Amino acid sequence: MSKHRHKFFFNSTRTVNDMIAVTFYFLLISGVGCLRLEQVLIFSRHNIRAPITKDTEEYTNKIFPKWSLEPALLTEKGALLEGYMGEYLTKWMTENQLLPGTCPDKETVLIYANNKRRTIATAKAFVDAAFPDCNVNVKYEKDFDIHDITFNYAIHNTTEAYKQKVLEEIEEMLANCKLTDAYEELDKIIDIKTSKICETKGFCDLVHDKNIVIYHAGDKLKLNGPLTIGNEVVDNFIMSYYEGRPLEEVAWGEITSPEQWKVLTKITAMDQKIRFNIPSSVKDTARPTIRYMRSIFTNENIKLALLVGHDANLNLITNALGFNPFVLPEQYEPYPVGGKIIFQKWKDAAGDYYLKVEYVYLSWNQLRDGVKINIQSPPLRVTLGIKDCAIDKNGLCPWDDFIKLINKY
């Protein structure tokens, strides 16, 4: 594989002239040693949104800064940043001759969003920038009272025995949850013992109060207690930071160091782990999503597919498919807003196919600063590996091995 020449994403160390030269060279070497991009599936989290809930007002006697839009809706800045990403990635796909550089044939592009307003708006922002004036439609479930099974992260097995096993595993995970430092740091900010939830529901001590598991067979897992309280409050802080609010409006100005962010975001990461990394249920929960992805991978007419969902979906996919552990540099969130896991199908001169998977995302400060990404200021990217699809030094694994893996679903 080392002899193959290929381009995956723009290298920020190259000059514009370097990029032009490399592009020209790539177009010339259509024979031996060339990898050609055949298909791309992008699984994206929605971009910056308003905080998901107003319940945070019960968790402290402090007054949260007001947002000008309803909870959970995509912000104008989120739409703008998504457009930048759409423009950037389309340029990459066009350079690699996957897309024509003009309006693509409708059957070659699939844009599919979960039926939440923030995911639909994210998909439309991507499309409007990627394919201006091309009338590329965004597919989504039109009945908003229905949970689209492709994106729904409910546990599908409804047997009582399965439910008990899941509950046992959750309780074990909660017992091993090490968040004392994070809870103490958060309580310095919100002082929960003076809050409404302390007065009315008895949650007055983030460190010692017990998390209550709420799980009905066939439904989404929910928690009630310190982890949920912490997750919702820190999410508010994170979105306020990304949105570019004055720092005195982010956690009332009480987060003043990267070390504090690192500690506090342990809460949101743990909430993700508890709800979506349950050993016995992760494959069950992710199965409809992976089956839909498989239908795309086996459809040669589709050149680009964009699926827009949630951090839960990205979490489930990476865990269910056995991705190797990874860390995203310059980010505190494990699955940041607007971040995308990009599955790339490449073909070599011998007719063999390979998979490359990259996580493409904006850094913590790129999101806050509203950076317009381009060749000079690219997004960050991390090559991902899968346990059952060993990669070479270029991040490539045999396509057939990957298909064998997803066929298990």
- What are the residue numbers of the active site? 46, 311
Q: How many angstroms separate the CA atoms of 297 and 285, rounded?
A: 20
Give the strand pairing for 304-309 and 36-45: parallel
CA distances for 19 relative to 90, 92, 95, 195, 225, angstroms? 16, 11, 10, 56, 52
Give the strand pairing for 109-113 and 304-309: parallel
**Strand ranges, E, within 190-275:** 212-214, 222-224
* Helix, strand, or coil (residue 135): coil
Cα dihedral across residues 400, 401, 402, 404: positive or negative: positive
Give yes or no for a contact between 356 and 35, defined as CB atoms under 8 angstroms apart. Answer: no
Question: In this structure, what is the dihedral angle of CA atoms 311, 313, 319, 322, given to the nearest 10 degrees?
Answer: -120
The number of beta carbons lying within 10 Å of the beta carbon of residue 301 is: 9
Query: What are the beta bridge partners of residue 112?
Result: 139, 307
Q: Which two tokens stand for residue 397?
A: 């694994």
Q: How many angstroms separate the CA atoms of 220 and 155, rounded?
A: 6
Considering only CA atoms, which of 80, 68, 178, 73 is closest in space to residue 125? 80
The continuous run of DSSP H or E covering 23 comes out as helix 16-28
Residue with tokens 């439309």: 124
The number of beta carbons lying within 10 Å of the beta carbon of residue 105 is: 9
